[in-house]
Amino acid sequence: MKILVCISSVPDTTSKINFTSDKAALDKSGIQWVINPLDEFALSKAIQLQASQGATVTVINVGTDSEPVIRKALATGANDAVRVNLDPKDSFSTAKQIAAVAKEHGFDLVLCGKESIDYNGGAVPGMVAQLLGVPFVNAAVGLDITEGSATAVREIEGGKETISVQLPAVIAGQKGLVDEKDVIIPNIRGIMTARSKPLNVVEPSEAEAKVSAVSFESVPPRAQVKMVDAQNLDELVRLLNQEAKVI
């Protein structure tokens, strides 16, 4: 079985996010880039399938400056990687590149996170499935592969739903696809081995971006906290009434 795992390069959650002076793009200076956490669940699941079923695992990233993140994915145990040399502009152009590689190499299973934590678009997995013409299961929290079919479990309001699809298929996972304790953290041996694993850089296929960002706006800073003495109830009421305006 051949598995393709889609990974996004996203800012670390502790990074301070700023935008360029014209508010047209993210200011990338000083940002620490990591594998999208939801993609890490998908990658760890693929490595489990590699161990239990002898699957080969290829990771793919659409980006121009993401080799360190890809090497980290290889260090977890993936066999090889593909980087499509394109700065992703929207979900469609990204999905088009992934689908082109998946179609060319005939992968049995495409795994990814249900969304990236930077833009939270959540559109790429479904678009990839549509472009490939294969079944799609979103927000999976469980996955088993047996005899050419996938059984996925996903959370729905008030319970869980179990879905069976024939391979090839696209499965988008979330927290729970593997236990958090089973998310693979690269060790020294994995990091050293990753240096010699194949990382193929391919030029993008033709794909016009359908969406463009007009501008970005930072979240307003939080107001300064005011401390009120526990015995000064009159001041507390005044602040709640005249400043916070909640009573």
- Please report the sign of the dihedral spanned by the C-alpha atoms of residue 35, residue 36, residue 42, residue 48: positive
Q: Do residues 111 and 41 touch, judged by C-beta distance below 8 A?
A: no
- Confidence label for 215 from pLDDT (cuts 50, 70 and 90): confident
Phi, psi angle pair for 173, to nearest 5°: -105, 170
- Per-residue confidence (pLDDT) for residue 209, from 0 to 100: 80
pLDDT tens by residue, 1-18: 999 999 999 988 888 888
CA 175-167-116 angle, to 5 degrees, is: 30
Structure tokens at 132: 């490939």
The count of other CB atoms within 10 Å of the CB of residue 101 is 20
- Confidence label for 222 from pLDDT (cuts 50, 70 and 90): confident
DSSP 203: P
Model confidence at 124: pLDDT above 90: yes
Integer-rounded Cα radius of gyration of the chain: 22
- The most distant pair of C-alpha atoms in the chain lies apart, rounded to whole Å, by 72
Residue 181: which residues within 8 A CB-CB, separation 6 or more? none
DSSP 55: -
Residues pairing with 57 in the sheet: 3
- Per-residue confidence (pLDDT) for residue 97, from 0 to 100: 95
Residues 204 and 63: their CA atoms lie apart, in Å, by 10
Residues 195 and 186: their CA atoms lie apart, in Å, by 13
pLDDT tens by residue, 168-204: 999 999 999 999 999 988 888 899 999 899 999 999 9
Average pLDDT over residues 119-147: 94
- Confidence label for 121 from pLDDT (cuts 50, 70 and 90): confident
- Per-residue confidence (pLDDT) for residue 80, from 0 to 100: 96
Nearest by Cα to 43 from 202, 190, 207, 195: 190
Nearest by Cα to 20 from 222, 219, 211, 215: 215
Residues 165 and 143: their CA atoms lie apart, in Å, by 11
- Per-residue confidence (pLDDT) for residue 79, from 0 to 100: 96
CA distances from 144 to 53, 112, 131, 175 (A): 11, 15, 24, 16
Q: Specify the amino acid at residue 132.
A: L
pLDDT tens by residue, 97-113: 999 999 999 999 999 99
Domains of the chain in start order, with CATH, are 2-215 (3.40.50.620)
- Per-residue confidence (pLDDT) for residue 13, from 0 to 100: 82
- What predicted TM-score, i.e. pTM, was given to this entire model? 0.84
pLDDT tens by residue, 52-89: 999 999 999 999 989 999 999 999 999 999 999 998 88
Residues 27 and 34: their CA atoms lie apart, in Å, by 16
Model confidence at 207: pLDDT above 80: no
Average pLDDT over residues 236-242: 90
- Per-residue confidence (pLDDT) for residue 15, from 0 to 100: 81
- Per-residue confidence (pLDDT) for residue 105, from 0 to 100: 94
Q: Which carries the bigger pLDDT value, residue 58 or residue 22? A: 58
- Per-residue confidence (pLDDT) for residue 170, from 0 to 100: 97
Average pLDDT over the chain reads 91
CA distances from 26 to 22, 33, 38, 215, 216 (A): 10, 13, 21, 10, 8
